Amino acid sequence: MIPNKTPETGSFFQRDRNWHPPAFAPGYKTSVLRSPQKALLSLDNTISEITGPVFGHSILGELDNDLIHNFAKPGESAIGERIIVYGRVLDERGKAVPGALVEFWQANAGGRYRHKKEGYMAPLDPNFGGCGRTITDEDGFYTFRTVRPGAYPWPNGANDWRPAHIHFSMFGHGFAQRLITQMYFEGDPMIWQCPIVGTVADRAAVEQLIAVLDMEATIPMDARAYKFDIVLRGRRSTFFENRREGN
């Protein structure tokens, strides 16, 4: 249920491009052709970007945040290590972001996606669709159940593998403000061998993409839990005249 509050309408902070990986990263092969060929420009937000369009909260189904069962046949469930992923969506000021649409998708426990162009021949799980969604509550909290995804090879280098990860997409109240990111798992040694992770120069930035195992939030005899907070850009940044492109 969405609270009846007046939404903020100030401009969003521009991203800090020193914190994000470069668009051109030769070690990540597909970035070579799709990276911009000209200098980037930062543009202020338009009214349509800040205020809409918005999605309908009523479109969510009862099992949209339960990947263990939302694609399974009656009485059956997905195969794999059951986990709970939870956290908060916050802005840079530490304020909760309520009513945000959080979407997630992943490979199955064997490391295979349900996609017709998937090249990895690990088995499909007939009871696992690999995608879901939920909405943050008044305090910015979200949660979903799933199985821990497997690692998989990909055609980047001769023997490159992706570590276990879950993709996230966040929509706020303006559809033009969408964030797509990935969540990794604490203790996975493959994180630091991944060419995509290697494009991020700041180790602290990578560590913010790693979910922490939280044994206090487990469901006994059922599922372990991982905590993953997502921090978005805030609004109303201070304008610095010597950094027009950075405000």
- What are the pLDDT digits (tens) for 2-19? 556 666 656 666 666 677
Model confidence over 140-157: pLDDT tens digits?
999 999 999 999 999 999
Q: Judge contact between 151 and 161, C-beta under 8 A.
A: yes
Query: What are the beta bridge partners of residue 10?
Result: none
Nearest Cα to 214, choosing from 224, 222, 204, 223?
Answer: 224
Kindly indicate the confidence band of residue 54, based on its pLDDT and cuts at 50, 70 and 90. Answer: low
Show which residues are catalytic.
113, 152, 162, 165, 167
The model's pTM is: 0.82
Model confidence over 108-138: pLDDT tens digits?
999 999 998 898 999 999 999 999 999 999 9
**Torsional class of 55: left (φ above 0), alpha (ψ -120 to 50), beta (otherwise):** beta
What is the set of domains in the chain, with CATH numbers? 31-246 (2.60.130.10)
Reply yes or no on whether the pLDDT at 209 is more than 90. yes
Q: Judge contact between 225 and 185, C-beta under 8 A.
A: no
Q: What is the pLDDT of residue 237?
A: 42
